[in-house]
A and B are shown apart, each in its own frame.
Chain A
């Protein structure tokens, strides 16, 4: 499950409460059936956390880091087999003897993921912006790693500012704004809350021929203009796969107007929900 929301929406606060770092002012948090507020030490046996922008300890080797934190979390009898497996699962085996300070940002994030995966009793994994500050290649490698955890059948709750990350990783999305949940569901369910199904993006509005200007004006009468920036605009259309819409696109391209047709994205829905356009939602 991914938590999406603007800065200050309450994503990290919620995650820190679930992780037992903050005490909630009201309500109840159960982790694997254990009350986190009343029995934090017992509840923490069932969860693993990667805090936002967390740096692992720099003067330990990768193997030492994973081993010591795994020992603090779990069962020391299985540690001899568990650490090599964790290093292999996270692609860190070849770096096992390097100091953490010698690793790139992406590999350091993997060290924290390896720690988080230790302990046989883990039922919930909390990831607070797991790929913030890492380059696009490392981000995708962390995504593949997180995606691979589905097989372990543990619940994963992650916060992110990257819509693409939520779409790639999450089965369910929760959008929060100002401390409240404004939408919850699968990516499709959230996209379907928009009153339109696609968007027609038209570029080059500042140098339209007279015939092209007529076509654009006709389209603007028929469809709502959702966004206009510089010399481009975005029209909201009911269904991008309808024959009429496709012929509208053909009319534009026949006049030499660059245009693209696409279905609505999660980002469109997100912006509508947190950008004060709730009235546009069904």
Chain B
């Protein structure tokens, strides 16, 4: 299969999934807009202004990551239950097309959610942000999104039922929240936990985004490179067809 054909299939599948999402637009928008603002408000009331930037970064990363992981895993769960997953596997499309399209169809909503959160943070709570860094910031958010795509795929692929998949997704959400230091600097963790934290893509996402907001070029470069590595790793893993066809 050629790269052009794969890209064409991704485009078709993403359009189809976006059309479906628009049929439940109220729920999707409600979840992606109201939920993050609530979290941000809550955290800013409780959190000292000194670490507010970190909290904002944490919130928008969780929006990018958790929505991606949860929606991808749960979509696979629903697709398996309705047996349409079997139809996908029987089509001449690679697992990358299925996974990437599903993730891509939710990206506009995650991104909108993150940008709304960022706007509220900047204009409502005075978090500093140079407008010139916005493209880099959006790029970083997309990298964070891409770096968690495989997590959702693996949960969806290995879960046996929608209920089990939901439980796994919740568990991973808790792990991502507490072991990836997105709401606090990684340096406050004990050394052994710091080592664990660096296995998670969100730790590097945090490094990347805090680097943008604080104007640290080396942090941006390091975080961005590792995130890109994660994205490449997931593409290879999914492309190899892990759990796509069952043995």
Contacts and interface: CB of A to CB of B under 8 A. Distances in A.
B246 A51 contact: no
Interface string A234-278: 000000000000000000000000000000000000000000000
Given A57-B20, A99-B23, A68 B12 contact: yes
B83 A55 contact: yes
Interface string B12-24: 1101100110011
A49 B89 CA distance: 10
B202 to A, nearest CB: 31
A47 interface: yes
B16 A51 contact: no
B123 to A, nearest CB: 35
Interface stretch (A1-9, A38-46, A221-229): A38-46
A279 B17 CA distance: 55
Contacts of A182: none
Q: Give the secondary structure class of A's interface.
A: mixed
B84 A20 contact: no
A21 B246 contact: yes
A41 B82 contact: no
A69 interface: yes
B182 to A, nearest CB: 33
Contact of A20 (B8, B90, B97): B90
Contacts of B1: 41
A44 B8 CA distance: 17
Given A55-B84, A60-B20, A49 B245 contact: no
A73 B91 contact: yes
B92 interface: yes
| Interface bin, chain B | 20 to 34
A93 interface: no
A181 interface: no
Contacts of A55: 82-84
A44 B92 contact: yes
B12 A23 contact: no
A145 B89 CA distance: 25
A34 to B, nearest CB: 11
A50 B90 CA distance: 9
Interface of B: 1, 8-9, 12-13, 15-16, 19-20, 23-24, 82-84, 86-87, 89-94, 97, 245-247
20 contacts: A21-B90, A41-B1, A41-B94, A49-B90, A51-B86, A53-B83, A55-B84, A56-B84, A57-B20, A59-B20, A59-B24, A60-B20, A68-B15, A69-B91, A71-B12, A72-B12, A72-B93, A73-B91, A76-B8, A99-B23
Given A23-B246, A54-B86, A56-B84, 9 more contacts: A16-B86, A21-B86, A21-B246, A22-B247, A51-B84, A54-B83, A68-B16, A71-B12, A112-B87
